Amino acid sequence: MLSRIGLFASLPLLALASTAFAGNARLDALFNNQATGPVSNICYARHYDKAHLASHPKQNVTAMLVYFSKKKSDEGSVYYQFDGQVKFRDSKKAFTFDGDCNRDKPGEDVHCGIDCDGGGFNVGAKDDKSIEVKIGDGGIGLHDAEGDTPLGSKGFQDDDETFLLQQTDLKDCLPVIYDDDVKAAVKKGTVTQ
């Protein structure tokens, strides 16, 4: 039997576990591999402030956003896409990355592969409103904002491996939503997450 001190000491751990579970439930809802149900769209973003960047001098990424969409093919199968954008300290340009995601089992991280052999990253639930994007060594393949110039992993530095992104309004992901119908619906407010 837990003493009162033991019970109260365990409450923060229970709160963290339930928060992570809620985050996993959100990812499970998006990556559930079911052909039934609504098409899902979700946007995560982070703009690092000067204080954060000053305390992380080896982090070159100043902003990142990732838009995930669950889609159905004409045959009814489900697939997942992402489109992202990243900005660096040493450039005013935005760079893009895109590809497909999959998840083998509920509760596991989602794996996303960059198109054209550009590497990949994993996505894990941090809590109900945030995710961790885990890029790892070497960065990911990027293009300029027009999608023309491949940049490889240029720009990523030693402290550019794991990024905590917050769920945000779909309108924040408009720069990387390329489906004209979805973009128009987001602008009108008729598409929700």
Residue 107 inside a domain? The answer is yes
Residue 3 inside a domain? The answer is no
Residue 2 inside a domain? The answer is no
Query: Alpha helices, DSSP H only, in 31-179?
Result: 50-55
Domain count, the chain: 1
Structure confidence at residue 181 as a pLDDT band (50, 70, 90): confident
The better pLDDT of the pair 178, 6 is held by 178
Residue 50: exposure state from Cβ atoms within 10 A (0-12, 13-18, ≥19):
exposed
Write the pLDDT tens digit of every residue in 88-112.
987 888 899 999 988 777 777 888 9
Task: Tell me which residue range forms the domain holding 32.
Answer: 9-188
DSSP 148: -
The better pLDDT of the pair 63, 139 is held by 63
Q: Tell me, what's the pLDDT at 189?
A: 82
**Phi first, then psi: what are they for 24, rounded to 5°?**
-65, -35
Q: Tell me, what's the pLDDT at 140?
A: 86
Task: Give 33's contacts (C-beta < 8 A, 6+ positions apart).
Answer: 78, 103
How far the first Cα of the chain sits from its last, in Å, is 43
Residue 26 inside a domain? The answer is yes
Residue 193 inside a domain? The answer is no
Question: Above 90 in pLDDT, residue 152?
Answer: no
Write the pLDDT tens digit of every residue in 32-76.
655 555 557 889 999 999 999 999 999 999 999 999 988 777 887
* Least trusted range by pLDDT, from 31-40, 71-80, 132-141, 181-190: 31-40
Rounded percentage of the chain residues whose pLDDT exceeds 70: 73
Residue 128 inside a domain? The answer is yes
Residue 175 inside a domain? The answer is yes
Q: Tell me, what's the pLDDT at 156?
A: 82
Residue 171 inside a domain? The answer is yes
Which residue, 84, 99, 95, is CA-closest to 176?
Answer: 84
